[in-house]
A and B are shown apart, each in its own frame.
Chain A
């Protein structure tokens, strides 16, 4: 059996009286696109935040390449090779693309200028950014314009390129197509494929079932703070997956069975 790249066992996270994670498990296999789906409040975001160091779970464990890890903050997760593309919090709007690509990991000029005067090597950062963008076939007019002058899809492209450039283990994307139009969504999905083809596993959080079915190798269904199913898109219909997500159906022995007759009928499954 292959060791999952990223794994979680029994994660619990409480906010006051609200239990956001209630013993959640998680497995990401090498080279796959894993979609994480779930209703609002199912704990998707909390799960992802725990995996990427943005929050610390109250209990449970996280394993990277089979080894137990603890991330005190997002920087530690990034240092471990887990990069995250956040929904719309990804980039600093007034800064240019190259600066954003290297934010928090700036390159300094060699020699005295860099060591003593801490001078940034803007030229090299721009050149390397251009390489990363080209490798993912993201076309941009200029790397020195502020990110706020780009379209939504281009911004997302910058955020993805940055994540891919630094990720050595995992790229996590939170609703990367949520704010985008049809054409731009298609471009981002292509981008995710190219990332996978480079051998990096991708965790994709999405509400968009057609996108999930188009691109995911496996689907992790989150419900009421825990994982209720892991399925392959080919084995189930979209309606069934929605039913599992909302609790109308359960998965037993790889088959979906009706758990709540009324709810299942209401969405046209019986």
Chain B
């Protein structure tokens, strides 16, 4: 029999990102009709600035969820990384301080991954423990003090440049670039295929000859490094090293991943979906704010969206089984 490729419309309909993308477009259309300020370059630039920290954390979260794991410690790791960068930058070369912060975040990722594989602890428990450990370390190391007076290198990503009449931050560009980079790595390299295979079934992956432990540890470490970049984005956005930062970002990053159509069971999903998921949250918060809806309703709607997204995922899985 001849081998025919799946037609393009069919592929678009079957990609897990189709639903989230439609939701984002509909939400944008709705808010454009209800608020004249919504559909402006400046407002979109603002939305991206508002979601870039959680969005970047969610890139790492996507990697881990694709392998079938989950990371509750990413917000805490980011906060610690931010404090490390800020405190060290006061006493050494700022670029070295940034490098140290990135390395520390990657190291926490490495520890998470190692505990999850070598001792076969469930990622949920490992990262729950790590959440508390790192949270405490952040407060001990910072002595509960906000670090101020940071050199320019640490706030550079918060600065803006003109793009077609709109002011855009360098951080926004970096975030989008990171999404594109990981979309490429996951979609176009053998490493990416292996991450999906691992999430489908660790046993299948192992039997195909993929070194699953090494792959898992690598994914957690890489995710840690991405959290480090999120830390730099956070510091540059707020201009300070804040030990209180990122406390709900772990759950917010999971929200973005799930809203983006990635399955919490692993093996299915796209990192670009996560960008869309983060934007959905951002667009809803921003749009509802412009319409004068109290912020507690924004939280309510986000919650409903998450439950809706997981329901859709479950139903589509049942259909293919």
Contacts and interface: CB of A to CB of B under 8 A. Distances in A.
9 contacts: A92-B196, A92-B267, A103-B208, A105-B209, A106-B193, A108-B190, A118-B191, A144-B11, A145-B6
Contact of A92 (B4, B197, B321): B197
Contact of B190 (A120, A141, A148): A120
Interface of A: 54, 73-75, 78, 84, 86, 89-95, 99, 103-106, 108, 117-120, 130, 133, 139-146, 148-149
A117 B189 CA distance: 8
Contacts of B203: 89
Contacts of B206: 74
Interface string B155-196: 000000000000000000000000000001000111101101
B190 A90 contact: no
A95 B4 contact: no
B33 interface: no
Contacts of A86: 207
Contact of B197 (A84, A103, A133): A103
A140 B1 contact: yes
Contacts of A119: 188-189
B120 to A, nearest CB: 17
A125 B312 CA distance: 32
B204 interface: yes
A142 B6 contact: yes
A120 B194 CA distance: 12
Contact of A142 (B5, B201, B205): B5
Contact of A118 (B4, B189, B200, B267): B189
A-B pairs with the 9 shortest C-beta distances?
A139-B1, A75-B209, A106-B190, A92-B200, A104-B209, A104-B208, A92-B197, A118-B189, A103-B208
Interface string B76-110: 00000000000000000000000000000000000
